Amino acid sequence: MMQRSFELIAFDGDDTLWHNERSYREGRDRLRRLLAAAGVDLSAEELETRVNTIEFANLQYFGYGVSSFTLSIIEAAIVLTSGRIAAADVGQLVAMAKRMMAEEIELFASARDTVAALSAVYPLMLITKGDLLHQTSKLDRSGLRRYFSFVEVVSHKTTDVYASILNRHGIDPDGFLMIGNSLRSDILPVIEVGAWAIHVPAALSWAHEDADEPDGSLDRYAQLPALGDVCDFVETFARSARAR
């Protein structure tokens, strides 16, 4: 049985425990087909660049999640067609957003076993970005809710946000481990706050989440190929934490 050394272990949700980005890729493909029908023929790469530019600019207004994405692709449709996009096409994008909100949650391989095993030893927290209603609904529909003692749905994942969460729950950063797929959101700010982090890259990832790996913190950071490797490596980190 694992020996407990961390006070709290946290997981990201989207593209760490369950598939998420592929729905957004499908949404961009849907937009590209609507644009082509309206006489605007763009490659997938060209559309990705244009939509990303609009999405990144809109984060300060709408945050993350399906609602923000939908507003951004509607804006992209208006801009790229010079306002000629039909109301019926906008309606299709809104209908697509509703389907995204209600779609079945598909867990990554080993997600359930990993979370269940760690929850038997450690209190677990879900820290995820996006819309509160949608993210809590996804957790409920994933079947993983019972393994998490705490749930934090945040607008952004920054060093200040992590520090606030740890302070509110009375957790010393040295006793906190974060597991996620995004270097920008799940790893770098956690290392900066003085905690531990495990990066499990996803096959599909939004460009906004890309970042360089952390320097000078390799004793507190690891990259693993799959969630199934996490439990064993938590013990490696735990031994390091106990030795400090």
143: nearest Cα among 181, 105, 114:
105
For residue range 164-174, list pLDDT tens digits in order: 999 999 999 99
Residue 21 tokens read as 């980005």
Expressed as residue numbers, the domain containing 29 is 21-102
Would 119 be classed as within a structural domain?
yes
pLDDT value at position 53?
92
* Residue 238 pLDDT grade (very low, low, confident, very high; cuts 50, 70, 90): low
- State whether 96 and 113 are in the same domain: no
pLDDT value at position 177?
96
pLDDT average, residue stretch 174-197: 93
Tell me: pLDDT of 68 over 80: yes
Tell me: pLDDT of 41 over 80: yes
Q: What is the pTM of this model?
A: 0.86
**Percent of the chain topping pLDDT 90:** 60
pLDDT average, residue stretch 117-145: 94
Residue 111 tokens read as 């997600």
Tell me: pLDDT of 1 over 50: no
- State whether 154 and 39 are in the same domain: no
Half-sphere exposure of 111 (CA within 13 A, CB side): 24
Would 2 be classed as within a structural domain?
no
For residue range 75-125, list pLDDT tens digits in order: 999 999 999 999 999 999 999 999 998 999 999 989 999 999 999 999 999
- State whether 121 and 226 are in the same domain: yes
- Cβ neighbours of residue 105 closer than 8 Å, sequence gap 6 or more: 18, 138, 141, 142
- State whether 183 and 111 are in the same domain: yes
pLDDT value at position 45?
87
Tell me: pLDDT of 5 over 80: no
